[in-house]
Amino acid sequence: MDLLDVMLKRRSVRKYTEDEIPKEKMNKILQAGLLAPTSRNRKPCSFLVVDSKDALEKLSESKESSSKFLKNANKAIVVVANTLISDTWIEDSSIALAFMHLMAAEQDIGSCWVQIHLRKSKSGQSSEDYVREVLGIDDYFRIVGILALGVPFREVKGYEIEDVDKERVHYYCKE
Ligand SMILES: Cc1cc2nc3c(=O)[nH]c(=O)nc-3n(C[C@H](O)[C@H](O)[C@H](O)COP(=O)(O)O)c2cc1C
């Protein structure tokens, strides 16, 4: 599939069936994360695949709102960045999340980014501390986001290139 077609098709999908994500599709999504470029090629990110119902339910409480759908996800990939390896963990984690989100779309798997960094849980605890506690992750690992994944409950309409706001592109010319 042409990359632009995948980009047009890509949407944030938050409602999933109870079906299992096929193993080959999951592998491709993880490969996309592993292939994401990183500053100085330091590769600070690890990918923690969560499929325990209990853990997914706990993770769905990691924010005051907009993380609830994790409860019904088939799997979640928590991107865990080692800050002792790189200072560009935000950028590296974000690129990996975006690569996996795109690959999921290409594989007809629904996915949605759940922002963890800079967010708070219901109790006022930082979402990062909450997730670290649920999954038993050390403090020097930072968590920018989680990718929720599942077989889409229904088709979410993609974008049309004609509808994209091209006014946001500017050209700086010498003359
Ligand atoms: C950095 C980032 C953080 C996001 N965090 C959340 C989130 O916590 N919960 C959520 O439901 N969607 C989240 N999203 C998805 C956006 O809401 C979504 O991309 C946006 O509304 C556009 O919709 P689309 O992805 O279907 O094009 C996030 C997306 C990005 C890029």
Q: Is the CB of 148 under 6 A from ligand 1?
A: no
Which pLDDT does position 122 carry in this prediction? 85
Atom of ligand 1 nearest to the CA of 63: 8
Q: Is the CB of 9 under 6 A from ligand 1?
A: no
Q: What CA–CA distances, in Å, run from 85 to 16, 44, 45, 132? A: 35, 6, 9, 18
Which pLDDT does position 139 carry in this prediction? 94
Distance 73 CA to ligand 1 centre (A): 16
Question: How remote is the C-alpha of 111 from its chain's centroid?
Answer: 7
Distance 106 CA to ligand 1 centre (A): 18
Count of beta carbons in the 10 Å neighbourhood of residue 164: 12
Q: At what angle do helices 23-35 and 89-106 cross, to 10 degrees?
A: 150
Alpha-carbon span 133 to 78, nearest angstrom? 13
Q: Is the CB of 102 under 6 A from ligand 1?
A: no
Using the structure block, give the residue that is written with the tokens 């599709």. Answer: 25
C-alpha neighbours within 13 Å on the C-beta side of residue 72: 13
Residue of minimum CA distance from atom 16 in ligand 1: 12
pTM, two decimal places: 0.98
Residue of minimum CA distance from atom 27 in ligand 1: 11
| Residue in 6, 11, 12 to alter for ligand 1 test, most ligand atoms within 8 A of Cβ | 12
Distance 113 CA to ligand 1 centre (A): 6
Which pLDDT does position 20 carry in this prediction? 98
Which pLDDT does position 175 carry in this prediction? 77
DSSP 70: G
Which pLDDT does position 21 carry in this prediction? 98
Alpha-carbon span 175 to 165, nearest angstrom? 25
pLDDT tens digit string along 93-127?
999 999 999 999 999 999 999 999 999 998 899 99
**What is the set of domains in the chain, with CATH numbers?**
3-168 (3.40.109.10)
Flag residues of the chain having pLDDT under 70.
none
Distance 21 CA to ligand 1 centre (A): 21
Distance 24 CA to ligand 1 centre (A): 25
Using alpha carbons only, what angle is made at residue 100 by residues 65 and 134, rounded to the nearest 5 degrees?
A: 45
